């Protein structure tokens, strides 16, 4: 084991290796107050501490004890990847430990690490499903076995634990498992017994990070081998498993969304560490294909419940949007790696949108209930079949991948906010707190996303050189204004960055004003699902209507009057304090359709004659941020609103 390991500096989920070809390097930040601080407090106080009990009652910890020989019983859980729930919780808790002052949590982490370590087999292998249920038949079902997937989450947890605490216990487990995997898997002619990949990519980006943490190049090579062996039919050739076409040749994202995105995060990591231009181009091409044709307004991805699939171009249904919470997280992880690799602001634009909408909707305001899928519409008369894919918030899932994934992103969120170069500091996301890099410290104070003012104060700066403070101007912000030392900048920021090069002095102030007028947004006309509709947005937030705010009829009869102005009303009493958008609408009066709901176009019942149909009672519409939906009742909801 490399002796340098424990000497490496603490950092977040992505660190760059010494040879990395990245435009930006991740920088440290701290979140002290404001919107994300509140969400992280709930994560730290409620969600994370509940983890061990939930993992106990679902049987995950029990499985580890049986594997270790310290308990008896049957394997519990329906899936071969239940170990990964434990690993993801460990990763989340480890990032939380870096915040300090969590003695109870630290004790739980130590205990769970002990269970994981005890369950590991002498040669490094660890997967309780195969150890307990399949009679040890390792690697006999790579398509569905999730052994390397679970290994990946274990490695990520170990890296997090090591970076946060400097302690080696879990990293030792991960290294042993990684070495085992490296002894088993390799290309034909390598002398390794198996040429194969896991049906669910995940270990690849974990191996890159293990390389970054340990300096052991074998892990990077193994990750590269795995990434390039997808798409060659080793798993049967299905798009579901990312096996239909090699990533380098792919034209669009496809198949199971989380699998695709974890694989692409690894591709970005590899391009960063190796300078592989073809892999970088593929990642850029696929990101563009995803955002232009397969991303919901919320940043959510994955159009199909069936096979959790990305779906076809412009197939972006509202009520059947799958938009798995894990896919939103994977999209953020991939985009952050692309932001670092390329320096382009658009990647952080998508991160902001996804964070505030498609991701954050996945956890309730109280931190105790979860959504696996994140639809953009729940119809009047919706009947919910229940189960993991319910549109109703749920305490825990049979397939509990999302909750600990949310926990780990919230607990490590400060690592996705800023970056540095030799030239200075780049702020990607705006919070109240500090951004730090190379002798620079900038304090930010803001009530964003409710208010658009971000006040930045230079607290520390090198005295001997000028540097550039780069502010990401969000893609949605048509107008903005920056005041800095008596000067004013009001755009445009064509590549998404406003760059302020100065010889800074402590106490220098920069004020960024982002325009938070509510706005109406329309989609590319090829997005059939929302033709004739608009959505309400304000700043980075997508808004929705909920039934609970609109008594007296269903939401599906409501039409938005786009000729009337939108108003803003801050409601400290509502949903933990949100700014609502108030709009004018009407509730349609539809003629009795008889028994058949289709009729000649142009008649009163038909939709083709748009002008004739929207009589109805005026109704004041109250839109709330999408992330806060389904925290009051189980009524209907919609993001996209038909227009008059």
Q: Is 544 a catalytic residue?
A: no
Which range touches a copy of itself (CB under 8 A), out of 4-12, 66-74, 161-169, 635-643?
Answer: 635-643
What is the C-alpha to C-alpha distance for residues 377 and 636, in angstroms, rounded to an integer? 7
**Scanning residues 527 to 546, which ones bind a copy of itself (CB under 8 A)?**
527-535
What is the C-alpha to C-alpha distance for residues 373 and 322, in angstroms, rounded to an integer? 5
Binder among 183, 390, 453, 475 for a copy of itself (CB under 8 A): 475
Bridge partners (DSSP) of residue 625 are 543
Choice between 291 and 631, CB closer to a copy of itself: 291
Q: What are phi and psi of 54, to 5 degrees?
A: -70, -40
Choice between 193 and 532, CB closer to a copy of itself: 532
Binder among 191, 385, 486, 572 for a copy of itself (CB under 8 A): 385
Binder among 601, 617, 618, 633 for a copy of itself (CB under 8 A): 601
Which range touches a copy of itself (CB under 8 A), out of 304-312, 423-431, 439-447, 579-587?
Answer: 304-312
Residue 164 has which token pair?
């946060």
What is the C-alpha to C-alpha distance for residues 372 and 370, in angstroms, rounded to an integer? 6
105 makes contact with a copy of itself (CB under 8 A): no
Binder among 71, 463, 568, 608 for a copy of itself (CB under 8 A): 608
**Scanning residues 552 to 591, which ones bind a copy of itself (CB under 8 A)?**
556-557, 562, 588, 590
Q: What are phi and psi of 481, to 5 degrees?
A: -145, 135
What is the C-alpha to C-alpha distance for residues 384 and 164, in angstroms, rounded to an integer? 41
**Scanning residues 40 to 79, which ones bind a copy of itself (CB under 8 A)?**
none
600 makes contact with a copy of itself (CB under 8 A): yes
User: Choosing from 308, 324, 352, 513, which is the catalytic residue?
Assistant: 308
- Count other Cβ atoms within 10 Å, centred on residue 449: 21
What is the C-alpha to C-alpha distance for residues 263 and 89, in angstroms, rounded to an integer? 21
Q: Are 373 and 391 in contact (CB under 8 A)?
A: yes
**Scanning residues 415 to 444, which ones bind a copy of itself (CB under 8 A)?**
none
Cβ-count burial of 137 within 10 angstroms (0-12 exposed, 13-18 middle, 19+ buried)? exposed
**Scanning residues 239 to 268, which ones bind a copy of itself (CB under 8 A)?**
239-240, 244, 252, 254
What is the C-alpha to C-alpha distance for residues 289 and 614, in angstroms, rounded to an integer? 36
Binder among 180, 337, 346, 472 for a copy of itself (CB under 8 A): 346
Q: Nearest approach, Cβ of 81 to a copy of itself (angstroms)?
A: 21
User: Choosing from 150, 241, 326, 401, which is the catalytic residue?
Assistant: 401
Q: Nearest approach, Cβ of 310 to a copy of itself (angstroms)?
A: 9
Q: Nearest approach, Cβ of 340 to a copy of itself (angstroms)?
A: 18
348 makes contact with a copy of itself (CB under 8 A): no
Q: Nearest approach, Cβ of 470 to a copy of itself (angstroms)?
A: 19
Binder among 9, 191, 507, 597 for a copy of itself (CB under 8 A): 597
Angle at 488 between CA 440 and CA 350, to 5 degrees: 65
Give the contacts of 383 (CB within 8 A, at least 6 positions apart). Answer: none
Residues 612-631, one symbol each (x = binds a copy of itself by CB under 8 A, - = not), give: -x------------------
Q: Of 189, 192, 226, which is closest to residue 211 (Cα–Cα)?
A: 226
- Count other Cβ atoms within 10 Å, centred on residue 488: 10
599 makes contact with a copy of itself (CB under 8 A): yes
Q: What are phi and psi of 127, to 5 degrees?
A: -165, 110
Tell me, by CB under 8 A, how many residues bind a copy of itself.
Answer: 79
Sheet strands (E) in 337-416: 377-378
525 makes contact with a copy of itself (CB under 8 A): yes
Choice between 161 and 320, CB closer to a copy of itself: 320
Q: Nearest approach, Cβ of 643 to a copy of itself (angstroms)?
A: 6
Three-state secondary structure call for residue 28: strand
DSSP state of 279: H
Which range touches a copy of itself (CB under 8 A), out of 90-98, 132-140, 375-383, 486-494?
Answer: 375-383
Choice between 39 and 280, CB closer to a copy of itself: 280
**Scanning residues 272 to 301, which ones bind a copy of itself (CB under 8 A)?**
288, 291-293, 295, 297
175 makes contact with a copy of itself (CB under 8 A): no
Choice between 439 and 591, CB closer to a copy of itself: 591
H or E segment to which residue 584 belongs: strand 578-588
Binder among 188, 381, 507, 551 for a copy of itself (CB under 8 A): 381
Which range touches a copy of itself (CB under 8 A), out of 33-41, 380-388, 440-448, 500-508?
Answer: 380-388
What is the C-alpha to C-alpha distance for residues 631 and 462, in angstroms, rounded to an integer? 47
CA distances from 301 to 65, 102, 292 (A): 37, 35, 12
Q: Of 520, 529, 644, which is closest to residue 588 (Cα–Cα)?
A: 644
336 makes contact with a copy of itself (CB under 8 A): no
Which range touches a copy of itself (CB under 8 A), out of 101-109, 193-201, 261-269, 522-530?
Answer: 522-530
Q: Nearest approach, Cβ of 556 to a copy of itself (angstroms)?
A: 5
User: What b/e readout covers 357-384, taking b as 16+ CB neighbours within 10 angstroms?
Assistant: bbbbbbbbbebebbbbbbbbbbbeebee
Q: Nearest approach, Cβ of 385 to a copy of itself (angstroms)?
A: 6
* 76 alpha-carbon distance from chain centroid: 28
Q: Is 308 a catalytic residue?
A: yes
Choice between 488 and 603, CB closer to a copy of itself: 603
What is the C-alpha to C-alpha distance for residues 304 and 345, in angstroms, rounded to an integer? 29
Binder among 399, 468, 521, 549 for a copy of itself (CB under 8 A): 521
305 makes contact with a copy of itself (CB under 8 A): yes
Q: What are phi and psi of 419, to 5 degrees?
A: -145, 170
Question: What's the per-residue H, E or C state across 300-316?
Answer: CECCCCHHHECCCCCCC
Rg (CA), the chain: 25
Q: Of 565, 558, 584, which is closest to residue 641 (Cα–Cα)?
A: 558
Q: Nearest approach, Cβ of 47 to a copy of itself (angstroms)?
A: 28
Tokens 């190796």 found at = 274
In a 13 Å sphere around the CA of 334, the CA atoms on its Cβ side amount to 34
Q: Nearest approach, Cβ of 641 to a copy of itself (angstroms)?
A: 10
**Scanning residues 478 to 517, which ones bind a copy of itself (CB under 8 A)?**
478
**Scanning residues 181 to 240, which ones bind a copy of itself (CB under 8 A)?**
238-240
**Scanning residues 310 to 329, which ones bind a copy of itself (CB under 8 A)?**
312-315, 317-320
Q: Nearest approach, Cβ of 518 to a copy of itself (angstroms)?
A: 11
Provide the annotated active-site residues. Answer: 308, 401
């Amino acid at each position: 084991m490399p002796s340098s390991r424990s000497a490496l500096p603490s950092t977040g989920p992505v660190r760059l290796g010494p040879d990395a070809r990245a435009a930006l390097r991740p920088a440290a930040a701290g979140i002290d107050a404001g919107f994300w601080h509140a969400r992280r407090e709930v994560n730290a106080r409620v969600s994370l501490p509940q983890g061990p009990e939930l993992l106990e009652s679902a049987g995950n910890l029990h499985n580890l004890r049986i594997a270790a020989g310290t308990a008896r019983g049957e394997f519990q859980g329906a899936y071969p990847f239940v170990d990964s729930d434990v690993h993801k919780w460990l990763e989340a808790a480890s990032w939380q430990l870096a915040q300090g002052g969590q003695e109870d949590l630290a004790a739980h982490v130590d205990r769970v690490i002990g269970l994981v370590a005890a369950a590991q087999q002498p040669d490094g292998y660890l997967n309780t499903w195969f150890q307990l249920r399949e009679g040890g038949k390792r690697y006999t079902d790579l398509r569905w076995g999730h052994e390397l997937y679970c290994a990946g989450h274990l490695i990520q947890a170990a890296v997090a634990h090591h970076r946060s605490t400097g302690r080696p216990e879990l990293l030792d487990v991960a290294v042993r498992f990684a070495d085992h995997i490296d002894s088993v898997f390799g290309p034909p002619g390598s002398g390794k017994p198996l040429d194969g990949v896991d049906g669910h990519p995940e270990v690849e980006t974990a191996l890159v990070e293990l390389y970054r943490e340990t300096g052991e190049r074998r892990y990077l090579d193994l990750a590269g081998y795995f990434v390039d062996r997808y798409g060659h039919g080793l798993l049967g050739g299905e798009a579901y498993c990312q096996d239909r076409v090699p990533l380098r040749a792919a034209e669009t994202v496809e198949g199971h969304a989380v699998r695709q995105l974890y694989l692409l995060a690894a591709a970005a990591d590899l391009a960063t560490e190796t300078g592989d231009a073809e892999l970088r181009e593929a990642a850029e091409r696929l990101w563009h294909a995803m955002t232009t044709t397969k991303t919901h307004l919320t940043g959510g991805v994955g159009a199909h419940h069936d096979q959790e699939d990305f779906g076809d171009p412009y197939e972006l249904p509202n009520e059947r949007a799958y938009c798995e919470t894990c896919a939103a997280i994977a999209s953020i992880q991939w985009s952050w790696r692309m932001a670092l690799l390329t320096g382009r602001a658009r990647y952080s634009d998508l991160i902001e949108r996804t964070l505030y909408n498609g991701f954050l909707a996945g956890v309730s305001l109280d931190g105790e209930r979860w959504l696996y899928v994140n639809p953009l519409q729940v119809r009047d008369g919706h009947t919910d079949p229940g189960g993991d894919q319910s549109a109703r918030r749920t305490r825990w899932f049979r397939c509990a991948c999302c909750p600990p994934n949310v926990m780990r992103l919230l607990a490590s969120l400060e690592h996705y906010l800023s970056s540095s170069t030799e030239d200075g500091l780049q702020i990607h996301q705006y919070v109240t707190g500090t951004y730090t890099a190379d002798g620079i410290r900038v304090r930010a104070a803001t009530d964003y996303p409710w208010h658009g003012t971000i006040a930045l104060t230079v607290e520390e700066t090198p005295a001997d050189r000028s540097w550039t403070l780069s502010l990401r101007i969000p893609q949605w912000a048509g107008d903005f204004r920056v005041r800095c030392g008596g000067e004013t900048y009001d755009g445009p920021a064509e590549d998404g960055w406003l760059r302020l090069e100065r010889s800074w002095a402590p106490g220098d102030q920069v004020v960024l004003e982002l325009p938070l007028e509510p706005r109406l947004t329309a989609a590319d006309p090829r997005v059939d699902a929302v033709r004739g509709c608009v959505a309400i947005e304000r700043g980075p937030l997508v808004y929705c209507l909920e039934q609970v705010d609109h008594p007296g009829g269903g939401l599906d009869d409501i039409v938005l009057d786009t000729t009337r102005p939108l108003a803003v009303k801050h409601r400290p009493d509502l949903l933990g304090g949100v700014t609502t958008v108030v709009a004018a609408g009407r509730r349609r009066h539809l003629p009795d359709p008889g028994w058949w709901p289709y009729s000649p176009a142009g008649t009163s019942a038909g939709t083709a004659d748009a002008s004739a149909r929207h009589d109805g009672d005026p109704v004041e519409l109250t839109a709330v941020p999408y992330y806060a939906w389904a925290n009051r009742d189980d009524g209907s909801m919609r993001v996209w609103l038909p227009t008059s």
